[in-house]
Amino acid sequence: MTAQPTKHGQGGLVTRFAPSPTGQLHEGHAVSAIRAHDLARRGGGRFLLRIEDIDATRSRPEHVATILDDLAWLGLTWEGPVYQSARLALYTAALDRLRAMGLVYPCFCTRADIAASLSAPHGAPGATYPGTCRSLPRHERAARMGEPHGWRLDIVAATARAGAGLTWHDAVAGTVVADPATQGDVIVARKDAPASYHLAVTVDDAAQGVTDIVRGVDLFEATHIHRLLQALLALSTPRYHHHPLIHDAAGKRLAKRTGAPTLAARREAGENGLALAERLRAAIA
């Protein structure tokens, strides 16, 4: 039987903002936070803050403090925060369920291994994971379990298990038919963490009762995987609101890795956060 999106009543609207404390927020983050906050407030619902600090090697407590200060500077109020690092047992339980269904397999590949496979004559730039470890003989897999490894979702087996006709609703795109196969065998647990972004965010949104997810359109494709995981784990499916990304004056997307001006720097320079929030609301209306 094909799992379908769960219907949510308007009275129980719940949104969230879920930044990673691996750097400071910029205007792009502010847009997502404001959109999620205002959607909840207009609907008489709840706006949650979740700190996605599952990456222990890059997350920093000082960034958490800055995130809280930035959101308050913008005039936002929230419930929480909840920290992913305190929820690891939930991700382990979800991975165990997928493992029990035979839908995941251990992956011993390094990034260099994968890059080499994709650059070989049979590969192609931008191709998905080639399935190297999926085809390992059982005895070889068992012998290597002491090595560092992650876990990948067998996308063919998982899609067959979930059944055809999975859909999700996007505020702009309307009803979208999930096509997770385009993403390949994604990682659901990393070598250095009990869950990947895909698994953790899906489990957390369901556990927290999130009904409406507001995030940038750069995560639109990831939703195909999240919808599949929801079906496999019998979790509810929120409504999605993927908004356009914002760019600087040169047309370059604002991002941490490109050195976008941070909210903290603007706050410390004396800029009015409430005025900035109103300008962003006007720009995205």
Burial of 180 (0-12, 13-18, 19+ CB in 10 A): buried
For 269, the domain range is: 10-284
Question: Quick check: is 52 in a domain?
Answer: yes
Q: How many domains does the chain have?
A: 1
pLDDT for the residue 148: 94
Question: Quick check: is 1 in a domain?
Answer: no
Does residue 12 contact residue 44 with C-beta atoms inside 8 Å?
A: no
pLDDT for the residue 119: 54
Neighbours of 8 (CB within 10 A): 18
- The pTM (predicted TM-score) of the whole model is 0.89
pLDDT along the chain (285 residues), means of 10: 37 92 94 98 97 92 97 98 96 98 96 73 58 94 95 97 95 96 95 93 98 96 98 98 81 62 95 97 85
pLDDT for the residue 125: 40
Distance CA 65, CA 195 (A): 24
Residues serving a catalytic function are: 256
Question: Quick check: is 5 in a domain?
Answer: no
- Tell me the backbone φ, ψ of residue 120, rounded to 5 degrees: -70, 165
Question: Quick check: is 226 in a domain?
Answer: yes
Count how many Cα atoms sit within 13 Å of the Cα of residue 244 in the half-sphere of its side chain: 6
Residue 170: strand pairing partners: 174, 240
Question: Quick check: is 108 in a domain?
Answer: yes
Question: Quick check: is 94 in a domain?
Answer: yes
Parallel, antiparallel, or unpaired: how do β-strands 239-243 and 46-51 relate? unpaired
Domain holding 263: CATH number?
Answer: 3.40.50.620
Side chain identity, residue 250: A
The three state secondary structure string of 88-127 is: HHHHHHHHHHHHHCCCEEEECCCHHHHHHHHHCCCCCCCC
What's the pLDDT tens digit per position in 164-186? 899 999 999 999 999 999 999 99
